[in-house]
A and B are shown apart, each in its own frame.
Chain A
Amino acid sequence: MKKISEWLKKNILALVTPIILLVIWESASRLGWVRATFLPPPSAIFATLVELMESGEIFINLGISILRVAEGFIIGATLGVLVGLQMALMKKFRIAVSLMFGILRPIPVFAWIPLLILWMGIDEGSKITVIAIGSFWTVLISVVQGIKNVDKKYLEVATILEKDRKTLLLQVMLPAALPAIFTGLRVGIDVAWRSVVAAELIAASSGIGYMIMYARELSQIDVVLVGVLSIGLTGIIIEQLLSLLEKRLLRWNVNLHE
């Protein structure tokens, strides 16, 4: 409780801005400046949200999307860490994949969606793969950069103390690179969340993106808006959870404490 009131004191403006916006929006609708079929008032959107929550429809669809993100992200991030470590530690491997990765990496993950649908259909497989691809690159790059930027001074200390390669990797390089890797994971999950919605908008039979597209076909603009906003809300929750995890894991990182 105390924490919440402290947070409010510091961040009151963060709440004031959206409230002002909502008031203007609501009044504009009530005064008839905007047609409700074009942009329903916040009160109507809220009512739809409550309705969708009561029926559970929104939770089911969000849940499906979140599960896809989780699966795809775990695959993509794990591969990113493993391949990234090899690239950072083995010069030959780095050279071997440099041109291939150089060409593949700039391809927007959405560009893979049509191909993946042709290969795997519109089921889970294609969506999870899209997410895995999206998160793979960001995690990969953060791992390679993180390991390469480990302070040589830390490595010298371990060398003088006659530590073997395994200790060097697990107890010096990885912890030292962890802040960088964590940044990669955060960006990666962001990319993953965007990719799932995009994949579902293009072709799906469930998920939050599908809910939005289906409502569009029925011209239910309020459901479309609820869907879009719930994507943002879920995003901020994921972000906060990760930042909590980061604070726990990287307690030693002075840069995290302001």
Chain B
Amino acid sequence: MSAAKTIVQTLTITNLSKTFRIDNNSVKVLEDINLTVEPGEFISIIGPSGCGKSTLLRLVVGLDQEFTGEIRLGDNHIKGPSVNRGMVFQEARLYPWLTIEKNVDFGLGNQHSVEEKKRIVAEHLELVGLSSFANAYPHQLSGGMQQRVSIARALVNRPEVLLLDEPFGALDAITRINMQQEILRIWETEKTTILLVTHDIDEAIFLGDRVVVMSKRPGSTKTIIPVNLPRPRDRNSYDFVTLRKEIYTQFFADVETPFAYSI
């Protein structure tokens, strides 16, 4: 992999609020989100379902431009989609009519020559370990493999920020653990900033430099917990378990009908 040529900038979210209008009622989904993400940082975002964590990613990627507050990458305000921010969804969203190679190639802009494109696509298939599947169609791949292709497609433009919206949510437990290790390896190679939305507390701690715990709707950045554990992290170590307990407490303090949770 060629060294990162992209200069990754700080992502700053300031006083961000978002209101949806549903049948003449306004529903506030995000309220006063403040978050500064250092270049190359890995941020995990967890929160109860419906707290607006996916909406937050959609705002950062630029799919939705109606919000108050500001989102900046470096000094630039985010006003719409741009190839400097890549996104991976819960479903791989590959185009079934394109081969794996062509799907990844679709991610690239037109500024490259044909040979360059070929090289970049091959490099990224290599990165996600799917070189031998270049000519396969998406339906011939497993869910985990499809999601890797989706990650490769999001990475071809060397984005400064990679947004992951519950990317492993639909995978089985074992594939999910493999993919978590995979994404760490990719993050360490590519040195991009990553924002990961997840509902899996273990995953959030295992991956993130910091874990943002969001409150229930309207979602706000309730607590931000730094994860000062060396990598590779051991999910069963004392520190990991202590942290998990702390986040569980944070997480469930918010739920209306609390219930006992034993680990």
Contact = CB atoms under 8 A, between A and B. Distances in A.
Task: Report whether chain A binds chain B.
Answer: yes
Interface of A: 153-154, 156-157, 159-162, 171-172, 175-176, 178, 250-254
Nearest to B83: A162
Chain B binding surface, main DSSP class: loop
B96 A156 contact: no
Contacts of A252: 96-98, 137-139
B48 interface: no
A114 B226 CA distance: 81
A157 B81 contact: no
B109 interface: yes
A254 B96 contact: yes
Contacts of A250: 97
B89 A153 contact: yes
A160 B97 contact: no
B96 A161 contact: no
Given A160-B62, A160-B81, A154 B93 contact: yes
Q: Which of B62, B85, B97 has the most CB of A within 10 A?
A: B97
Nearest to A153: B93
A176 B91 contact: no
Main secondary structure of the interface of A (DSSP, over half): helix
B61 interface: yes
A180 to B, nearest CB: 13
B95 A162 contact: no
Contacts of B137: 251-252
B87 to A, nearest CB: 5
22 contacts: A153-B89, A154-B95, A156-B93, A157-B93, A157-B95, A160-B61, A160-B86, A160-B87, A161-B81, A161-B153, A162-B82, A162-B83, A171-B106, A175-B95, A175-B97, A176-B95, A252-B97, A252-B137, A252-B138, A253-B97, A254-B96, A254-B139
Given A160-B62, A160-B63, A176 B93 contact: no
Given A157-B93, A252-B139, 14 more contacts: A154-B95, A160-B61, A160-B62, A160-B81, A160-B87, A161-B107, A161-B109, A162-B82, A175-B97, A178-B97, A252-B98, A252-B137, A253-B96, A254-B96
A157 B82 CA distance: 12
A160 B88 CA distance: 10
Interface residues of B, number: 24
A254 B98 CA distance: 13
Contact of A176 (B82, B83, B97, B138): B97
B83 A159 contact: no
Nearest to A175: B97
A251 to B, nearest CB: 8
Nearest to B156: A161
Nearest to B87: A160
Interface string B154-167: 00010000000000
A163 to B, nearest CB: 8
B96 to A, nearest CB: 5
A84 to B, nearest CB: 19
Contact of B63 (A154, A159, A171, A253): A159
A254 B157 CA distance: 30
Interface in B24-81: 61-63, 81
A161 B93 contact: no
Interface in B128-180: 137-139, 153, 157
Contacts of B85: 160
B91 A162 contact: no
